[in-house]
Amino acid sequence: MIRCDRTPAWAALRALYAANAKTFDLREAFATNPQRFAEFSQDAPHVFADLSKNLIDVQTQSLLLDLARQCGLEDRRDAMFAGEAINRTENRAVLHFLLRNPAPAHTGRAQAAPENIANELAEMHRTLDAMLAYAEQVRHDAAITDIVNIGIGGSDLGPQMAVLALEEFRQLGKRLHFVSNIDGQELAGVLAQLKPHNTLFLIASKTFTTTETMTNAGSAKHWFEAQGGTDIAGHFAALTTNVAAAKAFGVSTTFGFWDWVGGRYSLWSAIGLPLAMAIGAQGFRDFLAGAHAMDEHFRSAPLAQNLPVRLGLLDVWYRNFHGFTSRSIAPYSSALRRLPAYLQQLEMESNGKRVDLNGQALPFATAPVLWGEPGTNGQHAYFQMLHQGTEVVPVEFVAVKRAARSLPGHHNKLLANVLAQAQALMQGKSDVGGHKHFSGNRPSTFLMLEELTPASLGALIALQEHRVFVSGAIWGLNSFDQWGVELGKVLAKALESRLDSGDAAGLDGSTAGLLQRLQSPE
């Protein structure tokens, strides 16, 4: 595998950037090419994408596709789908897409799974059936009024984002709570609203060792027992790969998953149980089916018409050639308000790496900072900087064509705003006075869903997963480990006991000073 910056395509892109980038002008590009919208937009399963307001032309796109080929992108993608252990530092396959593979009973078609993972698939479908049966049972259990998901990172962000996004598909009136922070205020605030015999706690943790989750789970169990609750089996369930640890914790109702599902890719597994409880078994299967349609697109569409590939290559173009340091995500949908937080983990935990697959330092930039808020709120906060700041930040708009529920006049105003922002970023506005001058030519991508449904949300999320795979594969790094979170965890353990003892010996001056200040009675 050739490192991306040593390929001929990289050199050609550098030359193209040096020759054209300073003068590339989106307004001119549209004026000279009436076909630009058609050429740079495409339909993918459940998602329409307009890439035409990006700083690319036919030549750039073709060189980016050369880069993908020269970096062996197709081989890397096929290796993932074939179940190879592409997560090398943990010696694991990456098979979360399998969780979306429909069982023959649901399609009437034979499964397209590689032979070496057929057994996993059968086991996976048994677990899915059991989990969905449990979800339906709880949904129809009138005694359970509150469901509390205790988990963090991938065991929180995905289900929380999706439950909010599909609020309109919620079929019954149970309250769903998400507790992630180790700050006891969060759990205490939720517990204050609950009665033990009406509550079901879902302890969601791939490893069942994460301090935040274990601490919250322990406190929830303690509260439950202190309130006179005795039926742990009826009021606690664990969603984990570590069934033994769940059992040791005292939970006997467990839905498992596998080490080939990364935490930030686990929404499709038992970690999706809160979503299944919210939207029902069929809704959850529709969600998986939407993602599966995007998997098939990624797996089989030619690179030039492959939306995750086009988006991932655009990310590389902006990060490594334009030098843009961040990307802003702007969902014009209140239901998608947690999408930015979810995508932050997906992008930055996957590709925020500085070494290649062999541990060698990479001499170029990798993951951008991903950030955002729902539109139109962001417009009234930080869009000023997007329009007139000194940094160029590519924006990814997400719009939903038909609102599930709206009040008269609202949806058109919302859509007018998203169109206007993309237009304003590109067009700019001349003003000699300076303060009212908008330079324009600021890039954006526009993703459009016909409706926000379980299927379209599934497809949108799978699209994002695969685009992150694409940029990670070009950069030649491991998108599926997360060693960068470990050091802080270890240090926190050591500091916890020092907070009790007050022992600051051997600490750096700042940490020692802060520890002593936190310890001091005044």
Residues taking part in catalysis: 349, 380, 489
Residue in the structure block whose two tokens are 């979360």: 96
Residue 18: count other Cβ atoms within 10 Å of its Cβ.
10
Alpha helical stretches, state H, 47-98: 58-70, 73-81
Listed in order, strand segments (DSSP E) in 20-154 are 41-44, 47-50, 146-150
The pair of structure tokens assigned to 349 is: 């935990």
Pairing of strands 47-50, 444-451: antiparallel
Under rule CB under 6 A, residue 205 binds ligand F6P: yes
Q: How near is the Cβ of 490 to ligand F6P at its closest, in Å?
A: 12
- Span of 35-43, 80-88, 192-200, 206-214 interacting with ligand F6P by CB under 6 A: 206-214
Q: How near is the Cβ of 349 to ligand F6P at its closest, in Å?
A: 6
| Cα separation, 187 vs 106, whole angstroms | 39
The pair of structure tokens assigned to 481 is: 């480990």
The pair of structure tokens assigned to 259 is: 């080490």
Instruction: Count the site residues for ligand F6P by CB under 6 A.
Output: 14
101 or 482: CB nearest ligand F6P: 482
Of 421, 431, 427, 339, residue with least CA distance to 386: 421
Of 155, 160, 99, residue with least CA distance to 129: 99
256 or 263: CB nearest ligand F6P: 263
Of 320, 341, 317, residue with least CA distance to 331: 341
**Contact with ligand F6P (CB under 6 A) among 16, 53, 98, 153:** 153
**Contact with ligand F6P (CB under 6 A) among 10, 52, 83, 154:** 154
Q: Cβ neighbours of residue 130 under 8 Å, at least 6 residues apart? A: 255
Under rule CB under 6 A, residue 210 binds ligand F6P: yes
Q: How near is the Cβ of 318 to ligand F6P at its closest, in Å?
A: 25
DSSP β-bridge partners for residue 398: 331, 447
| Cα separation, 150 vs 211, whole angstroms | 12
Under rule CB under 6 A, residue 206 binds ligand F6P: yes
Binding track over 323-362 against ligand F6P, x by CB under 6 A: --------------------------x-------------
- Within 11-50, the residues that bind ligand F6P by CB under 6 A are none
**Contact with ligand F6P (CB under 6 A) among 61, 155, 160, 478:** 155
**Contact with ligand F6P (CB under 6 A) among 264, 297, 442, 467:** 264
Q: How near is the Cβ of 213 to ligand F6P at its closest, in Å?
A: 5
**Contact with ligand F6P (CB under 6 A) among 149, 213, 306, 479:** 213
- Max alpha carbon distance in the chain (Å)? 74
Q: How near is the Cβ of 91 to ligand F6P at its closest, in Å?
A: 17
Q: Are 136 and 285 in contact (CB under 8 A)?
A: no
Cα distance between the two ends of the chain: 60
Under rule CB under 6 A, residue 207 binds ligand F6P: yes
- Span of 11-19, 105-113, 150-158, 289-297 interacting with ligand F6P by CB under 6 A: 150-158
Under rule CB under 6 A, residue 472 binds ligand F6P: no
Q: Which residues bind ligand F6P (CB under 6 A)?
A: 152-155, 205-207, 210, 213, 263-264, 349, 482, 485
